[in-house]
Amino acid sequence: MAPVSLSTKAFIISSIPMGESDLLVTFLTPEAGKLRAVAKGAKKSTKRFMNALEPFTQVSACLIRSRPSGLWRLDSATILHIYETISSDYQRFVYASLCMELTELWQREGVGDSDVFGLVNWYLSKISRGSCPVTCSLIFKIRLLKSVGLLPRLDVCSVCGKRPMGRLIAFDRITGEIICASCVGRKDSMNLCLGTARSIDFIGTSSLERVGRLKLTYSQSLEGWSYMKELHCRHLHKEPSSYKFIDVSKDLKGCGYDS
């Protein structure tokens, strides 16, 4: 069978050493989703791909594969955009690493999703230009879960089907679905403010342009973060390693939020 080649723009999601001289690079492409490729000689010689394989870089890549189920080989990669201010700032770096880790965990190989590609583009542009990494990452996590069809409906109670009233509601710890004050107690649940549930619902259902203008309060950001972390980890059956380096309440204060 003749080798297949693919020329595409792509984000570098991760690069890990493979053997003595190669790198195993995970790309996110608009048309084929996540793709993993071996970059021959890239570990030994940085000249080979001219630093194009660092995370948080958008490249134009040419990939080659000799068998349909085989691993891709990177033939060439040219930098289209480097989000330099992410790697040089610790806080931006850890949040962006978390979002790339989540992208890698959620995206399936060979299945394209132009919404997720657009989301990664929006996210890296926003935080590289100085937007609060906590807020941007929260938006990212909500939209990523929405893209895989696992963001629960947050506008109606999952038990009675009515729109919840009052300030405090709860969510089902297994599904993340919300439970109104009248139905709480019938399921294993945790408290959630209605305002937080409404904000997450808005972020999951509006255009990115409108979402980018939303201003969350300190407590909504903190509560929304815990809710989304629990939901992602439960579905993935693991806690992504980047969470270890994140202190949300401290980082929100760093972004100018008052507790």
> Footprint of Zn ion on this chain (CB under 5 A)?
157, 159-160, 180, 183
Closest to Zn ion by CB, 97 vs 158, is: 158
Which CB atom, from 151 or from 183, has the smaller least distance to Zn ion?
183
CB of 159 to Zn ion, least distance (A): 4
Q: Are the C-beta atoms of 140 and 125 separated by less than 8 Å? A: no
Contacts 24+ apart (CB under 8 A), 23-31: 23/53, 25/53, 25/74, 26/104, 27/59, 27/61, 27/63, 28/103, 28/107, 28/116, 28/117, 28/120, 29/61, 29/112, 29/117, 30/112, 30/113, 30/114, 30/117, 31/112, 31/114
* Shortest distance (Å) from residue 133 CB to Zn ion: 35
* CB of 19 or CB of 166, closer to Zn ion: 166
- Minimum distance from residue 193 beta carbon to Zn ion (Å): 16
Between 139 and 179, whose beta carbon lies closer to Zn ion? 179
SS (H, E, C) 77-95: EEEEEECHHHHCCHHHHHH
The least CB distance from residue 178 to Zn ion, in Å, is 9
Residue 177 CB, nearest approach to Zn ion (Å): 11
Sequence-ordered list of residues with C-beta below 8 angstroms from that of 227, at least 6 positions apart, any chain: 171, 176, 192, 196, 200
Inter-CA distances, 233 with 36, 151, 177, 225, 238, Å = 23, 13, 15, 12, 5
Q: From the CB of 228, what's the least distance to Zn ion, in Å?
A: 22
Q: Which C-beta is closer to Zn ion: that of 52 or that of 179?
A: 179
The smaller minimum CB distance to Zn ion, of residues 60 and 175, is found at 175
Backbone angles phi, psi at 49, to 5 degrees: -120, 15
